[in-house]
Structure 1
Amino acid sequence: MKIVITGDTHIPGRGTSLPKRLIEECRIADLILHTGDWKSTKAVQLLSSYAEVKGVVGNVDDEELHTQFPLQQIIEVKGKRIGIVHGHGTQKTTEKRAIEAFEGMSVDIIVFGHSHIPIVRYMNKTLLINPGSPTHKRKLPYYSFVVLSIDQDIRAEVIFFDSKE
Structure 2
Amino acid sequence: MNIIVLSDTHMPRMAKTLPPVLESYLHKADAIIHAGDWQTAALADELKKYAPLYGVTGNVDEPPLHERFEKVIRLTFGTLTIGVTHGDGKGKTTEQRAMEPFKDENPDLLIFGHSHIPVKKKVNGTVLFNPGSPTDKRKQKHFSFGHLHVNENEWSIEHIYFDSKT
TM range (shorter): over 0.9
Match of 2:61 in 1: 61
Paired with 2:128 and 2:74, the residues of 1 have a C-alpha distance of: 14
Amino acid at match of 1:155: S
- Shift of residue 73 of structure 1? 0.6
TM-score for the superposition, normalised by structure 2: 0.96
Instruction: List runs of 5+ in structure 1 lacking aligned partners.
Output: none
Matched position secondary structure for 2:5? strand
Kindly indicate whether residue 16 of structure 2 is the aligned counterpart of residue 8 of structure 1. Answer: no
Match of 2:121 in 1: 121
- Are the counterparts in 1 of residues 40 and 62 from structure 2 also a CA contact under 8 Å? yes
Matches within 5 A, 1:37-56: 37-56=37-56
The count of corresponding residues between Structure 1 and Structure 2 is 165
Amino acid at match of 2:91: Q
Match of 1:163 in 2: 164
- Are the counterparts in 1 of residues 8 and 38 from structure 2 also a CA contact under 8 Å? yes
Paired with 1:129 and 1:158, the residues of 2 have a C-alpha distance of: 9
- Shift of residue 69 of structure 1? 0.2
TM-score for the superposition, normalised by structure 1: 0.97
- Are the counterparts in 2 of residues 18 and 46 from structure 1 also a CA contact under 8 Å? no
Kindly indicate whether residue 109 of structure 2 is the aligned counterpart of residue 109 of structure 1. Answer: yes
Amino acid at match of 1:84: V
Amino acid at match of 1:90: K
Match of 1:18 in 2: 18
Matched position secondary structure for 1:10? coil
Identity value in percent: 42
- Are the counterparts in 1 of residues 80 and 155 from structure 2 also a CA contact under 8 Å? no
Amino acid at match of 1:147: H
Query: 1:43-87 deviations in whole A, cap 9, x for unaligned?
Result: 112211111110000000011000000000101111211100000
Match of 2:146 in 1: 146
- Are the counterparts in 1 of residues 106 and 125 from structure 2 also a CA contact under 8 Å? no
- Are the counterparts in 1 of residues 146 and 158 from structure 2 also a CA contact under 8 Å? yes
Query: 1:14-45 deviations in whole A, cap 9, x for unaligned?
Result: 11111011111111011100000000012112
Paired with 1:41 and 1:164, the residues of 2 have a C-alpha distance of: 20
